[in-house]
Amino acid sequence: MRDFHLPGRSPAYGTGGMAATSHSLATLTAVDILRAGGNAVDGAIAAAAVLCVVEPQATGIGGDCFALYAPAGKGEVIALNGSGKAPAAAHLSWYLEQGMKRISLQSPHSVTVPGAVDAWCQLHGDYGKLAFAELLAPAIRLAEDGYTVHSRVAHDWAQLAKKLKVTDNASRMLLIDGQAPRAGDRHRQPELGRTLQTIAEQGRAGFYTGPVAEDIIGYLQSLGALHTLEDFAAPQSEYVTPISTQYRGYEVVECPPNGQGLTALIMLNILSGFSLTDFAPMSAQRLHLECEAARLAYGVRDRYIADPGQADIPIETLLSEDYAAELRAKISLDKVMPPLADSDFPTHPDTVYLCVVDAAGNAVSFINSVFHGFGSGLVSPKTGVVLQNRGAGFRLEAGHPNAIAPHKRPLHTIIPGMLMKAGRAVMPFGVMGGDYQPTGHAHFLTNLLDYRMDVQTALDFPRVFHDGNACQVERGVPALVKAELSTIGHQVVPVVSPHGGGQAIWIDENGGLTGGSDPRKDGCALGYE
Pairing of strands 492-494, 471-473: parallel
d(CA 445, CA 301): 20
What is the C-alpha to C-alpha distance for residues 498 and 179, in angstroms, rounded to an integer? 24
Query: Using an 8 Å Cβ cutoff, are 505 and 458 in contact?
Result: no
273, 328 in Cβ contact below 8 A?
A: yes
CB-CB contact of 59 with 52 (8 Å): yes
Task: Confirm if 139 and 46 have CB atoms less than 8 A apart.
Answer: yes
Residue type, 26: A
What Rg do the C-alpha atoms of the chain give, in angstroms? Answer: 22
Give the Cα separation of 57 and 347 in Å (integer): 15
Number of neighbouring beta carbons within 10 Å of residue 405: 17
Catalytic residues: 351
Q: Distance between CA 330 and CA 162 in Å, rounded?
A: 43
Between strands 186-187 and 238-240, the pairing is: unpaired
CB 494 within 8 A of CB 432: no
Phi-psi region of 432 (alpha: psi -120 to 50; beta: other; left: phi over 0): beta
CA distance 223 to 284: 49
| DSSP 3-state of 214 | helix
SS3 527: strand
Q: How far is CA 222 from the centre of its chain?
A: 30
Count Cα neighbours of 410 within 13 Å in the Cβ-side half-sphere. 29
Question: b or e along 66-103 (b: 16 or more beta carbons within 10 Å of the residue's beta carbon)?
Answer: bbbbbbbeeeebbbbbbbbbbbeebebeebeeeeeebb
In the DSSP assignment, the letter for residue 474 is: -
CB atoms within 10 A of CB 409: 29
- What is the CA angle 347-456-66, rounded to 5? 45
Q: Is 46 helix (H, G, I), strand (E, B) or coil?
A: helix
